Amino acid sequence: MGKATGFLEFERKTIANREPLARINDWNEIHEPFDSEAVKKQGARCMDCGTPYCHTGMTLSNMASGCPINNLIPEFNDLVYRDKWHEAYLRLSKTNNFPEFTGRVCPAPCEGSCVLGVIEPPVTIKNIECSIIDKAWAEGWVTPQPPTERTGKKVAVVGSGPAGLAAADQLNKAGHLVTVYERADRPGGLLMYGIPNMKLEKDTVTRRTKLMEAEGITIKCSVEIGKDIASKDLLNEFDAVILCCGATKPRDLPINGRELNNIRFAMEFLGPNTKELWDLREGKAEQFSELAKGKNVVIIGGGDTGTDCVGTSLRHGCESVTQLEIMPKPPTERAENNPWPEWPKTYKMDYGQEEAAAVQGEDPRQYLVTASKFEGDADGNVKAVHVHNIEWTNDNGRFIPKKIEGSEQVLPADLVLLAMGFLGPEATIVDQLELEQDARSNIKAEYGEFRTSVDKVFAAGDVRRGQSLIVWAINEGRAVARECDKFLMGTTKLP
C-alpha cells in the first residue's frame, strides 16, 4: 500500500496533457513531463485493500478486469510513495517487459478494478507505471542484460509487435538464439505503424528494440515470411517457430459505392502517415502527404483506431471530422449490469475527441448511426456518406440493428476511413503451413499451451486470440516463451 490515509488526503490527478489546440500543431507526444512529487502523492492513494483486484488479470463479461500481466501494482505504488524509484523499476520489470508501451497506450483495466474505485476515483496506476519506466531510462537504470550462457537452440519469432517482442525477450533471457522477422522497414509492428506518434513516440519503440538487439536478439526487417522466405523453410532452419503476426485483416463495409476513391481502411491511413513522418525526420523523404488536409473526414467505427484517425486528421488540417458509432452512447456512471470490478463502460473522451471538441466545439462522435451507401462525384471520388439512425432490437436472444425510418442524413465526405476492427490473421502463413484455424479464422492454439496443429510451431497474441489489448499480447508473448522453452529444454525457469 501507499500512505495509510493517502486516499483520504489526496485527490486523483493524472499527468496533464498539453492543451488540445496547441498539440494538434505537431506530432509530439501529448503528455506533459511528469512531476515526481505529484506522482508520489498518487502512489500514496493506494490503500491497504486486502485483496488487490488491480493485478488479478481476470476476464469478466469478455473484458479484462485487472492487469493481464499481473503487475505487482500495490508494491510499486508503495515504493514510489516512499521515493524508492529504482526498487519500483525492478519490481515493475519482474512482470512487464515493456512498461513504456503499456504506460502510454494500455486502457488500464487495472484502474477499472481498483478497490478504491468502488467509492472514489481509482489510483492513477497507468501514470505511475509510465513515470517509473521513464525515470528508469532517464537515470540510466535500463541497460543491456545479455544472458550469461547460450543453449544453442534457435527460435524464429514472426512479427515484432508486443507479443513477438515479449516472446523474443523472454526466450533470449533463457539463453536461446532468437531471430525476429518483421515485414515492415522498422521493428515494432502496430507499436510502430499502427499507433500514431502523438500517442507513442517512435523513439520510445526503437530505444527498446535497440536494447533487445544489444542483448543478443536478431531483428530482421523488410522480410515477409511467406513471400521473401517460405514459411516451411523456417521449420528447417529453427528448432521452434512462434507466430505473432497479429490479426491484420480489416473488417470491410460492403455497401453501395465502396469502390469509390478515398475510402480507406484505417491502417492504410495511419501506417503510411507514421512512415512518411519518420522518413522525413530521417532524411529519407522530402515531403509529408497530409491526406486529410482541407477535407471533410468521416470515420466509421470507434475504439482506439477511430480515435487515432480523428487525431491524425486534425493534425493534417482537415475541414471537419465526424466519427460514426453503431453502439449507443455509454452512460456517465456504471450501469447496474456493469458492476465493479468489470471494466467500466462509461462515457469518456479520448485525446482525439478532446482535440476535435476544441476545434469544432463538440464531440465528433454520432452514436447509434450506420452508413447505408457512399455517394461519388463525376470523377469517381467519394463526396458524401448516406447514414441513418438505428436501434438495437432483440431477435430471439440475438440483438440486431434496426433502421429508424425518417432518420436519414447525408454527410459531406471527401475522405472516409473504415475503423471497424479486424477479422483475424492474413492467410499466407496459415495456408503455407496448413495450420488449423478456429471458428473466427484465428490460428488454433490452446491458451496456456500455444501449440498449433503443426509440430514446432507456436502461436500467440492477436493471431491466436483475435484483436485485443497490448497487455494481453505481452501476457501471451511471455506465456508462449515459457511453453516454447519447456518444449526445447524439457523444463523452464521462465515466469
- Residue 340, CA atoms < 13 Å, CB-side half-sphere: 17
Cα distance between residue 109 and residue 489, in whole Å? 35
User: Are 12 and 45 in contact, with CB atoms under 8 Å apart?
Assistant: yes
Cα distance between residue 52 and residue 66, in whole Å? 9
In one-letter notation, the amino acid at residue 175 is: G
Domain 6-139: give its CATH code. Answer: 1.10.1060.10
Cα distance between residue 313 and residue 356, in whole Å? 10
| pLDDT, tens digit, 9 for 90 and up, residues 430-454 | 999 999 999 999 999 999 999 999 9
Cross-strand pairs, 229: 225
Backbone angles phi, psi at 165, to 5 degrees: -65, -40
Backbone angles phi, psi at 491, to 5 degrees: -155, 170
Cα distance between residue 480 and residue 426, in whole Å? 21
| Placement of cell 522498422 in the chain | 186
Cα distance between residue 224 and residue 261, in whole Å? 28
User: Are 334 and 122 in contact, with CB atoms under 8 Å apart?
Assistant: no
Chunked mean pLDDT (size 10), the chain, 495 residues: 89 96 97 94 93 92 94 96 98 98 97 95 97 98 97 98 98 98 97 97 98 98 98 97 96 98 98 96 88 98 95 98 97 95 95 98 98 98 98 91 96 98 95 96 97 98 96 98 98 96
Q: For the residues of 171-205, what is the DSSP string, one character each?
A: HHHTT-EEEEE-SSSSS-THHHHTS-TTTS-HHHH
- The Cα-based distances of 465 to 37, 98, 163, 165, 275 in angstroms read 40, 20, 11, 17, 27
* Range list of β-strands (E), 193-239: 218-220
- Angle between helix 351-360 and helix 303-316 axes, rounded to 10 deg: 40
Predicted local confidence at residue 50, as pLDDT: 86
Q: How many CB atoms lie within 10 A of CB 408?
A: 12
Query: CA angle at residue 191 from 140 to 175, to 5 degrees?
Result: 60
Q: What is the pTM of this model?
A: 0.96
Cross-strand pairs, 437: 443
Q: How many CB atoms lie within 10 A of CB 116?
A: 18
- CATH number for the 154-249+423-489 domain, one of 3.50.50.60, 3.20.20.140, 3.40.50.300, 3.30.43.10? 3.50.50.60
Asked if 154-249+423-489 and 252-420 have one fold, the answer is yes
Closest CA to 453 of 433, 478, 424, 473: 433
Which 8-state DSSP code applies to residue 456?
T
Q: How many CB atoms lie within 10 A of CB 139?
A: 11
Q: Is the backbone peptide bond immediately before 341 cis, with ω within 30 degrees of 0?
A: yes
Cα distance between residue 50 and residue 468, in whole Å? 30
Predicted local confidence at residue 227, as pLDDT: 97
Backbone angles phi, psi at 20, to 5 degrees: -55, -45
Domain ranges of the chain: 6-139, 154-249+423-489, 252-420
Helix or strand holding residue 482 (H, E): helix 470-489
User: Are 256 and 371 in contact, with CB atoms under 8 Å apart?
Assistant: no
Cα distance between residue 394 and residue 198, in whole Å? 41
Q: Which residues contact 248 (CB under 8 A, 6 or more apart)?
A: 267, 422, 425, 426
Q: Which residues contact 284 (CB under 8 A, 6 or more apart)?
A: none
Q: How many CB atoms lie within 10 A of CB 63?
A: 16
Cα distance between residue 295 and residue 278, in whole Å? 23
Closest CA to 341 of 57, 151, 9: 57
Domain 252-420: give its CATH code. Answer: 3.50.50.60
